Amino acid sequence: MKDTRPLLLPGDFPALRRGQLEILQVNLGYLCNLSCTHCHVNAGPKRTELMEKCTVDSVLRFVAQQQIQCLDLTGGAPEMNPHFRELVTAARKMNATVIDRCNLTILSEPGYEDLAEFLAQQQVHVTASLPCYAEQNVNEQRGKGVFQASIEGLQKLNALGYGIDPALPLDLVYNPNGAFLPPAQEALEADYKAQLLADHGVHFNRLLTITNMPISRFGAMLLAKNQFNDYMQLLKGSFSSENLSSVMCRSLISVDWQGDVYDCDFNQMLSLPLHKQVDGVIGSDAVSPRHISELIHHDFVGESIVVGDHCYGCTAGQGSSCGGALDAV
């Protein structure tokens, strides 16, 4: 795997500072039943990294002390972590919203047949990856047979009330399958809803369009096709300063499977831990990651955010975050 990090140093992205912390995004591990081409964490069936019970307990203490509004669980396939259900149940007892970033196919994997029912029982907000409503595009990006398994997963969730009952929100995620920006979120959502309903009887709430980051597996693909520099120029040339006020890192921190804390999921993949520098720029006074157990009583408001050229991916065009286009937030 080619390393994209040197091509992202140094950066000229504007300095950012954190506001009120609202979302704790937790990567429960890189184990996944899929190996998608756009995956920025290089997840797959052979990965062994999984968050341990003691770290899960630290996450829960952090949620309680910081009064976190939303616990956003990701991976890999977060559901493959053996402590997933314990974490979800405990967070819901604290009245935190829980988001499960689900690849849909996990719902039909052996040993996970009752997963959808568990998610519905706990009123977990399901955010599911479906990079297109066309079978060929999805299978090219995520693997043969993934589209049909994803549709079956959506139908199973619909049967439980997801996408229909207001207490069971179901959002879909679109990622481009190439070196280009997502189309307008609102128009694409209308196309998704019409096509999925007509062809498969599927209902969902929102479509979230997310720009592919030039890192990890997608970054390596760009390098292999000699498209890395062109893609970076596309991101920089599409920069919109209006997106700076609502980038996700201003209200979110990201925790990796070992419990180390970062400003966002992408900084986590680039091994860029959060710190307190006056100007949060990549390469300035590198520090070791801080563990979530050390930050349970920490005040994050006003701290500088580590930024770099990859941050242009969040501010290009309509903007991009784990919650979709920034101009739609």
304-319 pLDDT, tens digit per residue, is 999 988 899 999 999 9
What amino acid is encoded at 82 in this protein?
P
CB 274, CB 253: distance < 8 Å: yes
Tell me the DSSP string of 242-304.
GGGGG-GGGTEEEE-TTSEEESSHHHHHTT-B----SS-BTTSS--PPEEGGG-TT---TT-E
For residue range 152-169, what is the model confidence (pLDDT) as tens digits?
999 999 999 999 999 999
Cis peptide before 10 (omega within 30 of 0): yes
Q: Which helix (H) or strand (E) covers residue 62, if one does?
A: helix 53-66
pLDDT confidence of residue 137:
80
pLDDT confidence of residue 175:
84
Distances (CA, A) of 67 to 4, 59, 60: 36, 12, 10
At 1, is the pLDDT very low, low, confident or very high (cuts 50, 70, 90)? very low
pLDDT confidence of residue 304:
92
pLDDT confidence of residue 121:
98
Instruction: Return the closest-CA partner of residue 29 out of 68, 83, 70.
Output: 83
Instruction: Return the closest-CA partner of residue 324 out of 193, 137, 171.
Output: 171
At 79, is the pLDDT very low, low, confident or very high (cuts 50, 70, 90)? very high
Only one residue has tokens 């499977």, namely: 257
Only one residue has tokens 């976190």, namely: 68
CB 263, CB 253: distance < 8 Å: yes
At 104, is the pLDDT very low, low, confident or very high (cuts 50, 70, 90)? very high
Residue ranges of domains in the chain, CATH in brackets: 5-328 (3.20.20.70)
- CA–CA gap between residue 27 and residue 253 (Å, rounded): 11
CB 322, CB 245: distance < 8 Å: no
CB 175, CB 210: distance < 8 Å: yes
HEC profile for 102-141? ECCHHHHCCCCCCHHHHHHHCCCEEEEECCCCCHHHHHHH
Only one residue has tokens 């999921």, namely: 265
Quick check: 246 pLDDT over 60? yes
Q: Which helix (H) or strand (E) covers residue 142, if one does?
A: helix 135-142
For residue range 188-227, what is the model confidence (pLDDT) as tens digits?
999 999 999 999 999 999 999 999 888 877 888 899 999 9
**pLDDT over 90 for what percent of the chain?**
70
